[in-house]
């Protein structure tokens, strides 16, 4: 129920954001169709995750921020901070935007530098007051713990990502996989891997169609997009990419729900692009074929949302919970599905550490692992790993299912 309310708020906020940017009636229709046709958003509607609230209130916050960017107002500043504080209650990344987005006001070249600096300073005051209140609360109540406090206490460890985490993983990669690589080459490879994972998951959250439209600016221009929107989206994107890169380099896991808030902001550009394409098609018949192909693809995505392509993955959390309760420390687990996600949730807030690896046919030996997690759908498992275990007459320990998906756990030794 709460998910539905937050998703409705998300859709309304996205349409209102387009309207705030001067969107015409046809743009509002495009906005409705596009936001309702995002495959990842539709696929995660049933998941009980805090991201629904973060996505929704981040969009809500951008409406007063755009007005603040255009003309400073204490009312707009208060609304921006209020919405982003609520978003931060869902995901701590919101605090970074609260701290950095005020500097985006410096990009408004329609105002003199003195006025821009003054507005930026004023816009930082609420964040500084919130930070001061938070620090005082931590001092007065040292036993009070929450996710934001824990994250802030670890903020100083960000430097360790580049001095310890990545170098250590690069060293292990050289020893196990690429001994011909130098330490520098291995670290660069890891950083490129993080960048690629961000792009891959951004495509997944935005959909390949809308991502392609976003890239092909020559064929899909958006001249009606206000200059202020372009600068705000650029600044928001820059902050988002820094956050995503730090997260990826620290945990070496990236899923589309982390990139979804960025995808929703970039979708604004796609709305203006498709509306412009529709207008140009009426004047240039040569563009009808291109527009027709795009329209068919959008229709298919929208139809998929109506059919309801939900794919609950709550079983991943249940599998991780079972792991923490039942598996010994340093257990090595082989799986055929979402090794990074199950491993992340299993090792999070856990004194024990587990090693999860994805099964590779012909390359992975069962002898090197203690357990196997096999993905099931509709109560059945049809992967190569399942076939191998069946041939070896392995007996399952437990079956964990939610909806029509789940995991079968095998003990290998």
Question: In the structure encoding, which two tokens stand for residue 193, read together?
Answer: 């891997």
Q: What's the average pLDDT block by block, 10 residues per block, for the chain (413 residues)?
A: 85 96 94 91 71 94 96 95 94 92 94 94 93 79 64 66 85 80 89 93 93 93 94 96 91 82 96 93 79 89 69 71 89 84 81 87 83 81 81 84 81 82
Domain residue limits, the chain: 2-162+186-307, 314-411
Check residue 394 and give its pLDDT: 82
Bridge-based pairing of strands 371-377 and 332-335 is parallel
- Which are the contacts of 233, defined by CB distance < 8 A and separation ≥ 6? 265, 266, 268, 269
Q: pLDDT value at position 412?
A: 84
Distance CA 239, CA 236 (A): 5
Give every strand in the sheet of 355-358, ordered side by side.
355-358, 332-335, 371-377, 405-411, 396-402
> What pLDDT shows up at residue 161?
84
pLDDT on residue 259 = 93
* 25-36 and 256-283 helices, crossing angle to 10°: 140
Q: Which of 30, 25, 57 shows the shortest CA–CA distance to 267?
A: 30
In whole angstroms, give the CA distance from residue 181 to residue 171. 10
The pLDDT of residue 171 is 85
pLDDT of residue 165: 85
Interatomic CA distance for residues 363 and 356, integer angstroms = 15
pLDDT at residue 254, rounded to an integer: 77
> Which of these, 262, 286, 288, 266, lies nearest to 217 by C-alpha position?
266
């Amino acid at each position: 129920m709460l998910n539905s309310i937050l998703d409705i708020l998300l859709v309304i906020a996205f349409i209102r954001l387009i309207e705030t940017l001067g969107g015409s009636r046809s743009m509002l229709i495009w906005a409705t169709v596009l936001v309702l046709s995002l495959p990842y958003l539709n696929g995660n509607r049933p998941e009980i995750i805090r991201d629904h609230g973060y996505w929704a209130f981040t969009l809500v916050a951008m409406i007063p921020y755009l007005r603040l960017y255009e003309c400073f107002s204490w009312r707009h500043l208060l609304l921006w901070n209020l919405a982003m504080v609520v978003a931060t209650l869902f995901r701590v990344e919101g605090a970074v935007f609260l701290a950095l987005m005020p500097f985006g006001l410096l990009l408004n070249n329609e105002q003199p530098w003195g006025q821009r600096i003054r507005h930026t300073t004023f816009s930082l005051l609420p964040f500084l007051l919130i930070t001061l209140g938070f620090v005082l609360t931590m001092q007065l109540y040292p036993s009070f713990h929450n996710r934001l406090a824990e994250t802030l206490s670890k903020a100083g460890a960000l430097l360790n990502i580049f001095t310890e985490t990545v170098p250590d993983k690069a060293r292990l990669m050289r020893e196990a996989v690429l001994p011909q690589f130098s330490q520098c080459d291995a670290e660069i490879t890891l950083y490129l891997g993080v960048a690629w994972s961000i792009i891959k998951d951004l495509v997944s959250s935005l959909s390949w169609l809308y991502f392609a439209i976003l890239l092909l600016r020559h064929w899909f221009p958006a001249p009606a997009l206000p200059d202020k929107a372009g600068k705000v989206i650029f600044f928001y994107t820059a902050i988002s990419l820094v956050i995503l890169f730090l997260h990826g380099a620290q945990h070496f896991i990236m899923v589309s729900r982390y990139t979804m808030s960025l995808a929703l902001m970039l979708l604004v550009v796609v709305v203006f692009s498709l509306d412009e394409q529709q207008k140009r098609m009426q004047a240039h018949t040569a563009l009808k074929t291109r527009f027709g192909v795009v329209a068919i693809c959008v229709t298919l995505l929208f139809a998929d949302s109506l059919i309801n392509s939900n794919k609950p993955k709550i079983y991943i959390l249940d599998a991780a919970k079972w792991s923490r309760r039942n598996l010994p420390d340093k257990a090595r687990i082989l799986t055929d599905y979402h090794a990074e996600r199950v491993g992340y949730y299993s090792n999070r807030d856990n004194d024990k550490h587990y090693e999860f690896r994805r099964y590779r046919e012909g390359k992975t030996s069962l002898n090197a692992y203690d357990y196997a997690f096999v993905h099931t759908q509709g109560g059945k498992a049809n992967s190569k790993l399942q076939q191998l275990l069946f041939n070896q007459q392995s007996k399952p320990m437990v079956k964990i299912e939610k909806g029509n998906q789940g995991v079968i756990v095998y003990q290998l030794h």
